[in-house]
Amino acid sequence: MRITPCSAAFSAGWGGVFVALWLVAGPFLASQLLNAQADRSKTDPLPAEWRYVPHNVALFLHAEIASVWTSKMAQSLRQAEPKSFAQIENFAQEILGTKIDDIQTLTLFVPQMAPNADIQELGVIVKFSKPFDAEKVTAGFTALIGRSAQPKIQTIAENTALILLRLDEATYGKPQPAEATGYLTDAIHAAARGKHTLVVAAAPALLPEEFRRDDLPDPLRPFQPLLRANAIHATLDLQHSLQIQVHVNTKREAQAVDAEKALAALVELLTEMIRRELPDVEKSAEKDANFKDLVKLAQTALHVAQDAKYSVNGKRASLTATFPLEGLPLASAYRAALLHLERNSEILLSANNLKQIALAMHSYADTHKTFPPAAVCDKRGKPLLSWRVLILPYLDQEALYKEFKLDEPWDSEHNKKLLAKMPAVYRGPGAKPDATTTHYRVFVGNGAGFDWVMGTTLADITDGTSNTLMVVAAAEAVPWTKPDELEYDTDKDITKLIGMAVHRHAQMVMFDGSVRTLNKLPSKQTLHGLITKGGGEVIGNDF
């Protein structure tokens, strides 16, 4: 099992506390643009446990768990949503063998990252308020990541554990020299002082080459000065307000000026994210008062971003932002934020389902030279089983496919028993694990992309694969093996067939494999043009 920054840090404990504030802190904490190495002034000697943190690592994170967990904000959020906090407590108990109340600090470091940005090697230092049980910690991490990672537990002090995952004890299991310096020295000293709630940093030179290449995708080019800096570290302080500081250390003064502009671009990206989410949140606020509080929080975040301060001092560029907490409805906004994030994650999951279905359709076409027909039919053309059964082998479900009797209808005594084995890829948002119905359906007949008996070829799609609907999330769900599809009729109101089935969003995948998630359905005329594969219609600007 590979450990990612999300699963190893944020989900593991303190991350849930900041969910309601993700609009402000998220881009700074999750960004892989963070970097290290600064102009240094004299620093105090590091405490003994900090000598085990290497100064030249790709990523570094330190969290003052105790101060977060006992803060007034965390207490109010815990009362608002006890379930998510209970999950955090259970996770801490299972992995570290103790209550989260007994954890003082958590420090993570990643020596290097794989080219695909996965974290495979990880060091963890946990400081407890009392002596810890090494056997429980070993068992917990082994259960989490598997024995292949060979977690090694060392006792730095009776209340401090060093956990090494796929790291050599001879290198990382001993203290660094007292005079050690490196890319992340500034960040490590900032964290060691214990004055910051969170410190996070990274060294671009130790990140995969893909992050530092010259031909970055256009959306990332404004941030290129950050990827070429010596170092970045960000601090977050949680008191009566949320104080965020980001420091970028560069090789030359001119580069610091470029880094300041890149920080401004990050803040602009943040504001754009908020503006993009606001309409959906405001729509939810019409029915749920909690979302009105989330709107207020988001609007405050926009003001914070607008008032952010930038500076350049020699080779260092800095950003400072202050998010006021007093008087804000954090608890209710937190509940709404959790619900909003859950809905968004389900929308993404559904989009991924459609993508996997489209890939399976194309794999079927590669093998059979046509896309599947809408159904398995008998000799008289009567539909027996859905296309969803035909593409099972291309969804890694060949064993299930072989269980079907293709010459029997979906509800025969034998085939009906297989309804309970519906693959997860057919399960839509909000569906229960034992669901047997699906919203993923196709349009059939009258020039649509599918026919009951014959399969469609790529050459048949003369309107273009990017302009022709393959599969949609229909308004009504049907048994997944049943050949019950959307009969295309030019006189029918297509909008009622598609509906807004995915949390008030319409979702569909085109024949080119691109997935569309829409807040509003296109006009009936545009939909008719999208459904036909060779009608020659001009697609409207509303899609």
Report pLDDT for 15.
37
Report pLDDT for 261.
96
HSE, side-chain direction, 13 A CA sphere, residue 276: 8
Report pLDDT for 48.
84
pLDDT tens for the chain, 543 residues long, are 333 333 333 333 333 333 333 333 433 333 333 333 333 333 567 888 899 999 999 999 999 999 899 888 888 888 888 888 898 899 889 888 888 999 999 999 998 776 655 677 889 999 999 999 988 888 888 888 776 667 889 999 999 999 998 899 999 999 988 888 999 999 999 999 999 999 999 998 888 877 777 777 888 889 999 999 999 999 999 888 899 999 999 999 999 999 999 999 999 999 999 998 898 899 888 888 889 999 999 999 999 999 999 999 999 999 999 999 888 888 889 888 888 888 888 899 999 999 999 999 999 999 999 999 999 999 899 999 999 999 999 999 999 999 999 999 999 999 999 999 999 999 988 788 899 999 999 999 999 999 999 999 999 999 999 999 999 999 999 999 999 999 999 888 888 899 888 888 899 999 999 999 998 888 888 999 999 999 888 787 777
Report pLDDT for 44.
61
313 burial level (CB within 10 Å; 0-12, 13-18, 19+): exposed
Strand blocks (E) in 230-315: 231-238, 241-249, 309-313
CA distance 55 to 201: 11
pTM (predicted TM-score): 0.70
Report pLDDT for 118.
62
Closest by alpha carbon to 329, among 370, 300, 372? 300
CA distance 442 to 472: 6
CA distance 485 to 505: 20
